[in-house]
Structure 1
Amino acid sequence: MKILAFDNFKPGVTLDDLRPYLRDEVSNVWRLWKAGIVRENYARADVRGVIIVFELDGVEEARRYTDDFPLSKAGLLEWHFIAFDAPLPLESLFDPTVDIATPWDRTAA
């Protein structure tokens, strides 16, 4: 399941408040990216903050990771989460004669 997590800085937080934590924050996300837990990471274009796309079993697992981020531990961020998956069993839209049996990747040897 994909979990979209986005943060907001708590009121009054400045760049000077963030600076002592940024190196550890970035390296923490990079470590999770290399582990396949973080799939995408973006800077928000509308406000200061980030968007992280996790590949996890659910929101509570994503929350455990964001709670462990240095900026979260310092009390500087609020996190919001959206879980998403395929919109519906897509095969229900197929003609019953369409082959959707395993192996799904017919190009694999």
Structure 2
Amino acid sequence: MKVITFDRFKPGVTLETIQPFLPEEVANVWRLWKAGIVRENYARSDETGVVIVWEVESVEEAKRYIDDFPLSKKGFLEWTYVPVMAPLPLEALMDPSVDVAEPYDRTK
């Protein structure tokens, strides 16, 4: 299952607050990325924070990993969890005359 998570600083927390803990935080995410648990990791462009895409069995498993992050242990962040799945079989909703055959990418 994929779980998309994103964080926000709790009130009063600034970049200066978290700066001393960033090396350990980043190393923790990197280890999980190398293990295939973190699939994607982004910096937010709309505000300070990150978006992490997890490959886990459940939201609870993603929460266990996040609870182990140094910034989470310090109580600096609020996290949002969004479990996602593949959409309905879209082809089943299409008219049989709609062409869905290979080549799928016809822009080349």
Q: TM-score range by the shorter chain?
A: 0.7 to 0.9
User: d(CA) in 2 for partners of 1:93 and 1:41?
Assistant: 33
Partner of 1:81: 81
Partner of 2:10: 10
User: d(CA) in 2 for partners of 1:61 and 1:23?
Assistant: 23
CA RMSD, 1 decimal: 1.7
Tell me how far 1:16 sits from its aligned partner. 1.7
Partner of 1:20: 20
User: d(CA) in 2 for partners of 1:41 and 1:10?
Assistant: 20
Percent identity of paired positions between Structure 1 and Structure 2: 66
User: d(CA) in 1 for partners of 2:23 and 2:63?
Assistant: 21
User: d(CA) in 2 for partners of 1:83 and 1:45?
Assistant: 21
User: d(CA) in 2 for partners of 1:17 and 1:58?
Assistant: 31
Structure 2 gap segments, 5+ residues each = 96-108
Partner of 2:68: 68
Q: How many residues align?
A: 96
User: d(CA) in 1 for partners of 2:18 and 2:62?
Assistant: 22
Alignment of 1:39-50 (within 5 A): 39-50=39-50
